[in-house]
Structure 1
Amino acid sequence: MLQTFRTSVDSILPVVVMILVGYCSARIGWIDEKIGNAFTKIILNISLPCYMIWNITNSFDRDKFLMLFSGMLIPFLSMLIGYVVSILLSILFKIPREKRGVFRTAFFCSNTIFVGLPINLALFGEKSVPYVLLYYIVNTTLFWTLGVYEISKDGLSAVPLLSLSSLKKIATPALLGFIIGLILIFLGVSLPHFAMDSFHSLGNLTTPLALLFIGFVLYSIHLSEWRIDKDILLVLFGRFIFSPLLVFILLHFIHVPELMAKVFIIQSAMPVMTNISIVAKGYGSDYKFASFATAITSVACVIVIPCIMTLI
């Protein structure tokens, strides 16, 4: 067990180093708001879609994908149950109305790409990426429907649970890259080598840029905002205890390949999504609470993930 913990720590340390590089770069002014925004645009619109296409076409064929697709039931059920529990906890512990939706969304949604992808790559290698993407599809869909609906209720006006704008946001370039990859394997189409090499090279930008961006986000949150209260403790409970434990329980009833099971547990224990802060600010919700929840769970993740790896 001690050896497993050390191996997990060794896998996480490169992630920590790159986050620290991002933090230090922001501190000395090399990464500012403009560059941070450029990083997110490059990741979400270029590198991640390319990585999706390259990895899906290299990891799957039609039969293998259909066999594994049923595994999406686990993240779907776990997040829906987490959503219901978050509603009950927000009422029981009297979470203030102006941040109730942020709390609920932070409780059941996780950062599956910016943090989840690089950590799973560090722990399990590129074979884990298809399972990361399966979890990502469910997480993204529920965030842009249930999550945005809850956050909007904190502000001036609530948006419809299912609307054209939310459907457009679900159809991100990353998800479209995933769909293109699926179309290619279902049609049995092989792209030219130069195209695949280009997708691979651009896709390799995803992890370092994402980790540098996390370091920038951590630096941008002032120390005066780092206050641990019951609301934050409940978010930490949801992210690092309730969610992975729930996935672990579901795995006893829904059997999936061993690597998929491990990836789903790790994905369920990822930090709060960075998008929550952006959406909260747009709808007049408590975006500072969202930003702090993102920061504190990102820091805690470095300690929690080696512990979870040891247990599983």
Structure 2
Amino acid sequence: MAPALANALVPIFVGLLLGYWGGKRGWLDIKGVTALIAVVMNVAVPCAMFSAIIRTPWPAVARAASACWIIALAFLVIYTATYLIALRSGKVSLSESAVLALTIGFPNCAAVAISLLSDLYGPSSRVLASLSIAVGALTISPITLAILEMQANPENRGFDVRKFLKCILLSFKRPVVWAPLVALLLLAVHVSLPPFALSSLGVLGNASTGTALLLTGLILSEQKLKINLGAIISSLAKIVVQPLLALGICLLLHMEISTVRQVTMICAIPAGFFGLVFGKRFQAAPAVAGSALILTYVLSLATLPLWAVIVTYIH
């Protein structure tokens, strides 16, 4: 177990530290983070997702559907709870509450899920790891964007249902959303891609994990760590409560053991960078979100191996 954990976790933290150190030292330009985000979210990650799904037999993908609903529920519960608690505290605005909620509710699946699950549970787990990115991109990400866009308009401070639904529909324009959906459609109608297409997708997709890890480390290097009660509670909600919630739902529904382990580990992944990226666009970046983001990675040095050990004892 120890060698498998080392193979899975050491490369992840090496990539994060390299991005963090590069940002602090200045040889990775934090001003160019927008371009790096575009590469990761519009090219590398969509190609990795498409490649993982299209290479998988349709029955295996269909079996992953129930797991996706559990992942979506775990994301939404933590997102909603974080949002409401932050809003009730009175210390952050509605927009900042949404940014914090997305940071805590959506794990960094884009950078960590595919490599972590592949190393721990084999290549077949890449499908659920890829779909977990799409789940977050289809659910809590557009919700956050809708809130941010509505709050950015001084004339519209209330909840606009039409604009909210429009933002949900616009999310389908993002490659990180439509790429897995197209792959699923092709699989469903039994369309096979030529080998050169699969090879091209594989080459581009192989860059996703390393680039996303560097990007996360670079974003972390720009954040200031301020440990307070809000940051601690937010961090624990992400790396303790969310995986515990996912594990409980899976056991309650008597899911397959392999699914229980994969879903739990996806939810145990530290906080994602989507929230801070969206917040930067709308000048809504609460300090607690940056602190919680850093703290989840520090604490995950202990919690990720712990969760990996816990789920191995589930039979």
TM-score class, shorter-chain normalisation, is: 0.7 to 0.9
Q: Which runs of 5+ in 1 are unaligned?
A: none
Q: Which amino acid aligns with 1:205?
A: A
Task: Determine the structure 1 residue equivalent to 2:310.
Answer: 311
Relative to structure 2, which stretch is displaced further, 144-153 or 197-206? 144-153
Q: 2:19 touches 2:217 (CA, 8 Å); kept in 1?
A: yes
- For the residue of structure 1 that corresponds to 2:232, the secondary structure is helix
Query: 2:107 matched to 1:110?
Result: yes
Distance in 1 (CA, whole Å) between partners of 2:284 and 2:192 is 46
Q: 1:184 to 1:154 in 2, by over 3 A?
A: closer
Amino acid at match of 1:185: L
Greater displacement, 43-52 / 83-92: 83-92
Instruction: Report the secondary structure of 1:190's partner residue.
Output: coil
SS at 2:252 equivalent: coil
Check the 8 A contact 2:61/2:127 in 1, yes or no.
no
User: Does 2:34 align with 1:37?
Assistant: yes
Distance 1:154 1:194 in 2: 46
- How far is the alpha carbon of 1:239 from its aligned partner? 0.4
Shift of 1:305: 0.5
Residues of 1 paired with 2:90 and 2:149: CA distance? 16
Quickly say closer, same or farther: Cα 1:267–1:52, change in 2 above 3 A.
same
Q: Following TM superposition, by how much is the alpha carbon of 1:35 offset from its aligned partner in structure 2, in angstroms? A: 4.0
**Counterpart amino acid of residue 91 in structure 2:** P
Distance, in Å, in 1 between the alignment partners of 2:104 and 2:40 is 25
SS at match of 1:113: helix
Query: What is aligned with 2:233?
Result: 234
Contact 2:15–2:210 (Cα < 8 Å) also in 1: yes
SS of residue in 1 equivalent to 2:116: helix
Q: Is the 8 A contact 1:5 1:307 kept in 2?
A: no
Deviates further, 15-24 or 286-295: 286-295
The one of 65, 69, 80 aligned to 1:69? 65
Q: Following superposition of structure 1 onto structure 2, how do residues 295-306 of structure 1 map, counting pairs within 5 Å?
A: 295-306=294-305
For residue 264 of structure 2, what is the aligned residue in structure 1?
265
The one-character-per-residue Cα deviations of 1:168-205 (angstroms, maximum 9, x if unpaired) are: 13542022211221122112121111111111111101
Which shows bigger deviation, 80-89 or 9-18?
Answer: 80-89
Superposition RMSD on alpha carbons, in Å? 2.6
For 1:156-305, list aligned pairs within 5 A: 157=157, 160=160, 162-221=164-223, 225-305=224-304
Q: Which amino acid aligns with 1:271?
A: P
Q: Is 2:45 the counterpart of 1:48?
A: yes
Question: Are 2:103 and 2:271, in contact at CA under 8 Å, matched by a contact in 1?
Answer: yes
- Return the match for 2:134 from 133, 137, 149: 137
The change in CA–CA distance for 1:220 and 1:91 in structure 2 (over 3 A counts) is: closer
Structure 1 residues 14, 163: CA separation in 2 closer, same or farther (over 3 Å shift)?
same
Distance in 1 separating the partners of 2:24 and 2:199: 35
- Name the stretch that deviates more: 15-24 or 178-187: 15-24
Which residue type is aligned with residue 225 of structure 2? W
Q: Deviations over 1:36-64 (max 9, x none)?
A: 33322222122222222221111232x33
- Give distance in 2, aligned partners of 1:146 and 1:233: 24
The 3 A distance-change label for structure 1 pair 55 and 309 is: same
- Alignment: residue pair count: 304
Counterpart secondary structure, 1:292: helix
Distance 1:88 1:163, change over 3 A: closer
In 1: Cα distance, 2:217 partner to 2:92 partner: 30
TM-score, scaled relative to structure 2: 0.85
Deviation at 1:253, TM superposition (A): 2.0
